[in-house]
Chains A and B, each alone.
Chain A
Amino acid sequence: MVINPEKKIEEGDAMEDALKQINAVAGTIGSMVCDDHGRLISHVFPSIFDKNMLSAAATTVYENVPGLEDITGGVKMIDFRFQNGRVVIKPVDGGCLILLCDGTSNLQSLFISLNLVAKKVEKILKAGPAVSQQITAAPQTPTSTSVSPQDLIDKGLVSAYLQGMQATLAKFMGPMAKIIFLECVEKWLQDHQPVKTSLPQLVDIVAAEIGDPAKMSDYRQRVSTFL
């Protein structure tokens, strides 16, 4: 694919402009966008917040928001209130918007601006990677044509079964189920094709993670109803 550098710069500028709009709301210290792999795409923060610090925060958000999906049925917004301020997280299509505010922020104005800017950010994320990502992204490992475990769960041929197995596992393991299930699928894919006939082997791997024999048997019974 030929990348037009001018277009990338425009996208980067557009993302920064969108973030500046949020920062204009009184009490907002800074804002950033990460993509759906937890990579920092763009940020408008005072220089005291270095990039490594913001990247680490973006990774934390990426790793933990999925853990709240089961109990909420999909996260719309998270608002953490701390002693020295608040952190607002707004998941969007293709990534996440993260805001750091002080205690004086006007919530109503903030949420209105956030909802408006979230749409713009979604549009930019859909259009392609921003220029900052182009510049800072670490070298990728050699490209592979194989499907990632997450893609397989989200939209693979056996995704309905996998999602059912994952949801059932959540009843036993709570929010850690997503992470554990992902690891199980990864392990399963090392020796098996992602087809329905090899799902019993995945059930074995997942059941082993549960540990407790009674719960393992309960899990097997529950998933057997839809496999």
Chain B
Amino acid sequence: MKAARPTDPASPRMTLSSDGYIRLTFERFLRLRLEHLCSGLDDSEIGLNPGAEGACTTTISGYTEWVSDDLPAQPMITIGWSWALVGRDGGARCVQVDPPGHNLMFLDAQGRDVGLRATTALLYDWLERFDWQSQVLFAVNAQTPLNSCQH
């Protein structure tokens, strides 16, 4: 990765590096608030279920987008990921599918990049603890996914 002006981990203001990343420590990221930007459904993927003659299965899946909550200030942190509705514990639940897309580069205690792969892995784990499902279901039920995607 080319050299870029790293964000001072202690600095209160986020800046955009020349390579497009926003650099900060994971600990600082955990203290930020994210705002739901938009969510929506993928195009329907319907296929025949070979185990049940005449039946078909439908996969409900979609996307969700989140940004740092100091809108409309730039630069904005952006994180988005795919989700699918799956049966779990007798009910239906949204689960993330695939690692998230984002513009973050986490820094270690010495202010060095941890790398894109490690940053994405940290975000993937963080998503397990972040309560995003209710916002997604609300947005999808309201059927206004794209209209809210203005910033």
Q: Do A and B interact?
A: no
The chain B residues found within 8 Å of chain A, CB to CB, are: none
